[in-house]
Amino acid sequence: MRPATINRRGFRLILTALLSSLTSCGSATDRTLEEIFEQSYPIEPTANVTIRNGDGAIFVYGSPANEIRVRAIKKAYTYERLKQIVINVSAQPGSVSIETNFPKKQTWGLFDRSGTVDYTIVVPQTANISRLELDNGEVLVDGMHGQTIHARLGSGQMFEHNCFSDATFSLGRGTIALTYEWWEQSKFSIRADITHGNALAFLPSDAAFHLTAEAVDGKIASDFAEQDERSAEGISKVDTLVRNGGDVTIKMHVTEGNIKIVEANP
């Protein structure tokens, strides 16, 4: 089991540059107020972690330490609105729940509707992400080796980096990128479902996996496909074994959009 990549900021910047549809974070002239929340809690290495947020970001990093570290940055245009955004953390040795409560948004009138929360959460790399939910923004899950990951994003960008868990990623609108810098000979599965948007996978040359992919209203391009399939036009469904498949299953389904599988270091 390799340690988590040290230069995570560099990794995120590279992927962000590759994804041209990244959601804007606002103009440089925005005058927002900020409040920082920071806490650490000892937990078991296989604890179940649930995270719920409305608007903003959730970045989860796996670590060898048996603790969870939560850092959240609340942002809003007014002090009153900032205080109305509440972060609730319930931590037990075997489970942690992080809930973000936003004030109810008025649908009429000149009310302040501002407010985001950006989370950076470090957990034991063998923990289970039993539920990660974000309505709008950016999600990153990095360096996890637990049994399960379940992540859902309504709209925005979703990144998965060097995770060797049974993982399910669901995205309503945006782009999802699965990235691996190395491959482990272990048994795990990844499922990515996108309603509107594109799916990308960056996999090393020695990766062995069973790939099933479908772009209902779009196309699929794979560097791991046979030469005649690479030059074919309009492929929308793939079911293939790469290096005899091994014990890894990758399933990608896009209702409206494209899928691209890239051999990261051919």
What pLDDT score was predicted for residue 31? Answer: 78
Q: Are residues 50 and 172 in the same domain?
A: yes
Q: How many CB atoms lie within 10 A of CB 106?
A: 10
Q: Are residues 151 and 236 in the same domain?
A: no
Domain holding 245, by residue range, is 206-266
Closest by Cα among 61, 51, 46 to 140: 61
Closest by Cα among 237, 185, 188, 228 to 207: 185
Instruction: Say if 188 falls within a structural domain.
Output: no
What pLDDT score was predicted for residue 24? Answer: 41
**Degrees, nearest 5: CA angle 213-214-215:** 130
Count of domains forming the chain: 2
- Burial of residue 221 (number of CB atoms within 10 Å: 0-12, 13-18, 19+): middle
Q: Are residues 125 and 221 in the same domain?
A: no
- Percent of the chain at pLDDT above 90? 75
**What does the pLDDT look like over 117-134, one tens digit per residue?**
999 999 999 999 999 999
Instruction: Say if 16 falls within a structural domain.
Output: no
Question: Which residues lie across from 160 on neighbouring strands?
Answer: 141, 178
pLDDT tier at 109, thresholds 50, 70, 90: very low
Please compute the mean of the pLDDT values over residues 141-161 and round it to a whole number. Answer: 98
Question: In terms of DSSP bridges, do strands 209-217 and 128-142 run parallel, antiparallel, or are they unpaired?
Answer: unpaired
What pLDDT score was predicted for residue 104? Answer: 73
Task: For residue 232, give both structure tokens.
Answer: 């074919």
Instruction: Say if 240 falls within a structural domain.
Output: yes
pLDDT at 263 over 80: yes
Question: In terms of DSSP bridges, do strands 248-256 and 188-203 run parallel, antiparallel, or are they unpaired?
Answer: parallel
Instruction: Say if 185 falls within a structural domain.
Output: no
Q: Are residues 37 and 133 in the same domain?
A: yes
Q: Are residues 164 and 242 in the same domain?
A: no
Model pTM?
A: 0.86
Q: Are residues 175 and 210 in the same domain?
A: no
Q: Are residues 152 and 219 in the same domain?
A: no
What pLDDT score was predicted for residue 105? Answer: 64
pLDDT at 17 over 90: no
Q: Are residues 234 and 153 in the same domain?
A: no
Instruction: Say if 84 falls within a structural domain.
Output: yes
What pLDDT score was predicted for residue 216? Answer: 97
Residue type, 244: N
DSSP notation for 116-158: EEEEEEEEETT-EEEEEEEEEEEEEEES--SSEEEEEEEEEEE
pLDDT at 30 over 90: no
Q: Are residues 122 and 168 in the same domain?
A: yes
Q: Are residues 43 and 169 in the same domain?
A: yes
Q: Are residues 147 and 221 in the same domain?
A: no
Q: 138 near 57, Cβ under 8 Å? A: yes
Question: Which residues lie across from 191 on neighbouring strands?
Answer: 168, 251
pLDDT tier at 15, thresholds 50, 70, 90: low
**What does the pLDDT look like over 48-107, one tens digit per residue?**
999 999 999 999 999 999 999 999 999 999 899 899 999 999 999 999 999 999 987 655
Q: Are residues 168 and 239 in the same domain?
A: no
pLDDT tier at 32, thresholds 50, 70, 90: confident
Distance of CA 95 to the CA centre of its chain: 20
- The phi and psi torsions of 265 (rounded to 5 degrees) equal -140, 70
Final residue before a domain boundary, out of 179, 214, 246: 179
- Percent of the chain at pLDDT above 70? 82
Closest by Cα among 266, 260, 247, 264 to 203: 264
